[in-house]
Amino acid sequence: MAAPEPLARRELIVETTRRLVTQFGVHGATIARIAETAGISQGGIYRHFRSRTDILLAVVDDIFDQIFSLYEVPAGTDPLDHLREIARRHSQLMTDDSHSFARPWLEFIAAAPRLGLREAVRAKQMTAVDALESIVAAGQCSGSIRTDVSARQVAWEFLSWAWGENVGSALGLSDFIGGGNSARLVDLILTSASTPSASRRPTS
């Protein structure tokens, strides 16, 4: 019965830190504030994490677990539709302040290099572009994405669009997503990369 408690406490610390980074930035997410907000002693925190940096790195992992969950679709989904579904889910998430990862994502990018957070985000972003490139390449094999385009280039274009939504969400630029500008941009990227028959196919 007591076995799940350490994991539950670890998750509480990570979620609390994520919220504090969103509210106060990386510098404001101190061990004292994390402990007070989570209702755990500072000594209790150190039973789960060696340092504040370790907690922050765990938050990076948590954010990218959320990002990569957007990539999960039923087996057999056409790769072009797969990308459209990722885009739909990402846009939906970025308009939900209670679940958006945009603000802590930006805080980690802007953090001091000595913390290693930017490097952690960089590594995760490279994993993301690799995953997107694989989806595009699968679309080239299935015939929905043109074979004369670079799968890597399309992946970077798609990821750059996602970054635009992240920044727009973090800065409260609601017109980018809510005004349809983001949707038009991602549609331009995917339509440009798709084969003529795929681009004429109705979207769900």
pLDDT, tens digit, 9 for 90 and up, residues 49-107 = 999 999 999 999 999 999 999 999 999 999 999 999 999 999 999 998 778 899 999 99
The reply to whether the predicted model has a pTM over 0.85 is yes
DSSP designation for 115: G
| Residue 204 confidence (pLDDT) above 70 | no
- Distances in Å between the alpha carbon of 43 and those of 49, 99, 155? 10, 29, 44
Characterize 46-62 residue by residue with b for buried, 16 or more Cβ atoms within 10 angstroms of its Cβ, and e for exposed: eebbeebbebbbbbbeb
Give the tens place of pLDDT for each residue, 128-178. Answer: 999 999 999 999 999 999 999 999 999 999 999 999 999 999 999 989 999
- Domains by residue range for the chain, with CATH: 1-49 (1.10.10), 58-199 (1.10.357.10)
CB atoms within 10 A of CB 93: 19
